[in-house]
């Protein structure tokens, strides 16, 4: 008995080149590195905040804890946003929030403004992590995903290490309370630049793959598609049909 006919399935496109995928991992790992640096930048600054600005231990604890407050619900909202607009736009939006929060924190010595800056950073950091993990899972679908997550997480944790040890390697910045926060601002800028680099990389990768999915390729490969669009086009290009006849044919 003959097998029932089934609809032809579209041929799956090959995965992006390995080099491009690892560049994506490096770019997003830098974003995670910067985000973790921002999260831990208050701890090494505690003594300066206490001596120069008169902050109490409760004030310093608030500056550190307020970053985690938005993640109680914002991560869920961020996941919905990522599903709706994609990783490229989401990463830029969330990285911009991280940068804006770092800038606001370094703007003024007033506790309220610094808390607002840390809160703004927290709004972006957790959702940025979701966007990073989503993008890595998409680019490494079924190919060493766990190992790639391990690499990305290792680099991210190096951001925390760099922030905690910054009094040793950036001693010059700790003469003033704003110096370490300017370093954190530079980390926020690196985070946004990394997100913009990912936008460029995915745009470059998606465009040719989308063209292949639509049956388009180089111009020489598009010509047969155009010739098949209408028999009159084929006759015209071969010189067998005058232009007026072609117009009449198209109008009919």
- How far, CA to CA in Å, does 15 sit from each of 116, 123, 138, 217? 43, 33, 10, 17
Phi, psi at residue 165, to the nearest 5°? Answer: -100, 5
Pick left, alpha or beta for residue 164 (phi over 0 → left; psi -120 to 50 → alpha; otherwise beta): alpha
Count the neighbouring beta carbons within 10 Å of the beta carbon of residue 43: 14
Helix axes 57-65, 46-53, angle to 10 degrees: 130
Sequence ranges of the chain with CATH classification 1.20.1250.20:
18-213
Whether residue 37 is predicted with pLDDT greater than 80 in this model: the reply is yes
- How far, CA to CA in Å, does 179 sit from each of 108, 141, 183, 202? 12, 42, 7, 35
Of 82, 94, 102, 99, the residue nearest 123 (C-alpha): 94
d(CA 46, CA 44): 6
The answer to which of 103-117, 136-150, 179-193, 208-222 has the lowest mean pLDDT is 208-222
Q: 228: exposed, middle or buried (C-beta count within 10 Å: 0-12, 13-18, 19+)?
A: exposed
* Fold (CATH) for 18-213: Growth Hormone; Chain: A; (1.20.1250)
Give the pLDDT confidence of 184-207 residue by residue, as tens digits.
999 999 999 999 999 999 888 776
d(CA 71, CA 164): 22
Tokens encoding 220: 């020489």
Look up the pTM and report it: 0.76
Looking at residue 184, its pLDDT comes to 97
């Amino acid at each position: 008995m003959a097998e029932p006919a089934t609809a032809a399935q579209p041929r799956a496109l090959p995965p992006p080149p390995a080099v491009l995928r690892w560049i994506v991992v490096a770019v997003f790992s830098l974003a995670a590195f910067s985000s973790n640096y921002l999260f831990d930048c208050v701890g090494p600054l505690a003594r300066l905040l206490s001596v120069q600005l008169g902050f109490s231990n409760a004030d310093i604890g608030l500056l550190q804890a307020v970053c985690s407050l938005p993640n109680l619900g914002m991560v869920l909202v961020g996941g919905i946003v990522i599903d709706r607009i994609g990783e490229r736009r989401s990463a830029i939006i969330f990285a911009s929030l991280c940068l804006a929060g770092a800038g606001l924190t370094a703007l003024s010595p007033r506790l309220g403004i610094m808390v607002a800056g840390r809160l703004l950073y927290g709004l972006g950091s957790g959702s940025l992590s979701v966007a990073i993990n989503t993008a890595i899972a998409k680019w490494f679908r079924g190919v060493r995903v766990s190992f790639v997550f391990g690499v990305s997480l290792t680099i991210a944790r190096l951001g925390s290490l760099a922030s905690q040890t910054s009094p040793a390697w950036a001693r010059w910045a700790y003469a003033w309370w704003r110096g370490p926060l300017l370093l954190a601002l530079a980390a926020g800028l690196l985070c946004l630049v990394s997100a913009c680099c990912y936008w460029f990389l995915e745009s470059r990768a998606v465009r040719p793959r989308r063209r292949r999915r639509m049956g388009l390729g180089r111009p020489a490969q598009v010509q047969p598609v155009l010739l098949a669009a209408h028999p009159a086009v084929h006759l015209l290009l071969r010189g067998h049909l005058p232009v007026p006849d072609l117009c009449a044919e198209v109008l009919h």
